[in-house]
A = this chain, B = another copy of it.
Amino acid sequence: MEKLKTVILGASGYTGAEAVRLIMGHLKLELSALTANRHAGKAYAHVYPHMAHQGLPDLVKWQDVNWDGTDVVFACLPHGASEDTIAEISRPGLTVIDLSADFRLKDAELYAQTYGRAHTTPKLLAGAVYGLSEYARADIKQASLVACPGCYPTASLLALLPVLDLIDADNIVIDAKSGVSGAGRKENTAFMYPETAEGAHAYGVGTHRHGPEIDAQLSTALGRNITVSFTPHLLPMNRGMIATINVELNQTVTPADLRAACIARYKDEAFVHVEPEGIVPHTRHVRASNQYRIGIFPDRNPRRAVIISVIDNLTKGSSGQAVQNLNIVKNWDETLGLSMVPVFP
């Protein structure tokens, strides 16, 4: 079988580089172009030396890609740039997997409030499918534009969706923690080693853009509007994300019920694993893999429980889920290119 011609839009960001890594190990895809307009003309190894010696194409402007000869594009651009570029390149037969935030919120007004700019491609938005892989397979299969969820929403939603009927959805407290790669590759002193190593801090308290995305998905699932508490933190590590979710149990519900609901929901999933009782998931144990692990614990307060999920923010939280979504679109084995064992230590 011929491999599908695959383009990475925005290959100079971390999610772009992770998409490249995963696609290089995917039997049905080949990288036909890597774009990065600021770096067009450079070898990819100039931007990402770990990619040297692999025969990868040089970086080009997206305008110089042969889009008619392209089968698949992973858009790894910042929001705004993403929808603008996708609007230019989308055409029949091209599958677009978007890793930006541009098509995650169905409500264009909410998008405008959240991202500080009007949405400019309402038709594309209408057709986009929110690609939380384990929950949207039927829609993803039909999609030509898949909006991959944010990393925090991925971590939070897979933990909450199976138990939503068992808890007080108006009292969900999500305390989330991310590695520094989640901030992207930025010329900003705030992400220098001395400013992020050997310490930790919350950020975007009450205001982080992934809050509305989590709300929107949970509200849709519930059929009514809820607002979660959500506090993200930046931790001194390259990769990894934890969501520690404190929930209030409905009357008569026990933590064991939450666990049972999660197991029932995920028992046939390739990437989602419910940890045995007492086992706490660590981010380092899913590093560089597409795994998602959940632990469920009794809280000290007997009316509450603690759900802890971990992912690699760049893999299941971004480029890995993107590849998984493409596998779904193409009706391939969902694990194609994604069966990497976690890298530890």
Contact = CB atoms under 8 A, between A and B. Distances in A.
A173 B306 CA distance: 10
Nearest to A215: B300
Among A171, A200, A293, the one with the most B-chain Cβ atoms within 10 Å of its Cβ is A200
A300 B206 contact: yes
B306 A14 contact: no
B206 A306 contact: yes
Given A187-B189, A342-B50, A280 B201 contact: yes
A194 B238 contact: yes
A214 to B, nearest CB: 9
A24 B171 CA distance: 43
A345 B200 contact: no
A240 interface: yes
B344 A50 contact: yes
Interface stretch (A105-113, A156-164, A177-185): A177-185
A229 B301 contact: yes
Contact of A228 (B196, B227, B295, B301): B301
A313 to B, nearest CB: 11
Contacts of A14: 194, 345
Nearest to A192: B191
A173 to B, nearest CB: 5
A186 interface: yes
A230 B199 contact: no
Given A186-B192, A199-B282, A200-B242, 4 more contacts: A49-B282, A177-B177, A194-B238, A206-B297
Interface of A: 14, 17, 20-21, 24-25, 48-54, 170-171, 173, 175, 177, 180-181, 185-189, 191-203, 205-207, 211, 215, 227-231, 233, 235-240, 242, 244, 246, 248, 273, 275, 279-288, 291, 293, 295, 297-302, 304, 306, 308, 310, 339-345
18 contacts: A21-B341, A25-B340, A50-B341, A50-B342, A50-B343, A51-B341, A171-B248, A177-B233, A193-B195, A198-B345, A201-B280, A201-B284, A202-B295, A205-B297, A231-B244, A287-B343, A288-B288, A340-B340
